[in-house]
Amino acid sequence: MIILASASPRRRELLSAMGIGKFDIRPSAHESPLRTDMDEAGAVELIALGKARDISSKADKGDTVIAADTLVFLDGQALGKPRSEAEAKNMLSALSGREHRVITGLAVIADGREYTDAVTTLVRFLPLTEEQIDWYVSTGEPMDKAGAYGIQGLGGMLIEGITGDYFNVVGLPVARLARLLEAAGHKVFSRGQMR
């Protein structure tokens, strides 16, 4: 059985789009602090691994656990999910007209082995007016997303362009995940749906 250790509907949709026909959803409540004594990609990867280990410790022996964690970084500062509308507005104001990094850490645990990686995408925001920021926050969309925006939704109108993996910004870099699953022994690139 494949287990997705996330409640994110976007990750669920992307996993289905990869042709993985059947998987369980078991969100991890594990929270690891972001380590500041290592590079950003490695630190986000470690958070994802903590989530995967949490669910794997409760799973059956033959199960494969997939976990991911996405953070936005601006000027060396991590921007997670906003805790209030005011915080969302502050994040969007800081991102306005600037480029930032979106890093997703990935972890797969299968047969007692751990496979990890991280993907970085550069995202450039258009300059935003206060009115545009207020409107976007009023939609409610920013409240459950790292950096207070969702590229796949209304937040896409705030973005000038990206360099790198679009799906990484959504929250699950599918190309990199497919390679981790292959390394873990799953036949991702074969006919029929992977189970």
The three-state (H, E, C) secondary structure of the chain, written as one string = CEEECCCCHHHHHHHHHCCECCCEECCCCCCCCCCCCCCHHHHHHHHHHHHHHHHHCCCCCCCEEEEEEEEEEECCEEECCCCCHHHHHHHHHHHCCCEEEEEEEEEEEECCEEEEEEEEEEEEECCCCHHHHHHHHHCCHHHHCHHHCCCCCHHHHHEEEEECCHHHHHCCCHHHHHHHHHHCCCCCCCCCCEC
Contact 107, 116 (CB under 8 A): yes
In this prediction the pTM is: 0.92
pLDDT (0 to 100) of residue 33? 83
pLDDT (0 to 100) of residue 21? 78
Condensed to tens digits (0 to 9), the pLDDT of residues 40-73 reads 999 999 999 999 999 999 999 999 999 999 999 9
**Residue 35, Cα to own-chain centre: how many angstroms?**
17
**Residue 55, Cα to own-chain centre: how many angstroms?**
17
pLDDT (0 to 100) of residue 194? 56
pLDDT (0 to 100) of residue 20? 86
The segments of the chain whose pLDDT lies below 70 read 191-195
pLDDT (0 to 100) of residue 169? 96
pLDDT (0 to 100) of residue 192? 55
69 catalytic residue (yes or no)? yes
Separation in Å, CA 72 to CA 40, 41, 44, 79: 10, 11, 10, 5
CATH architecture classification, 2-183: Alpha-Beta Complex (3.90)
pLDDT (0 to 100) of residue 66? 98
Q: Which of 69, 75, 117, 144 is catalytic?
A: 69
Query: How far apart are the C-alpha atoms of 87 and 11, rounded to whole Å?
Result: 24
Domains of the chain: which residue ranges? 2-183
Query: How far apart are the C-alpha atoms of 74 and 86, rounded to whole Å?
Result: 18
pLDDT (0 to 100) of residue 191? 62
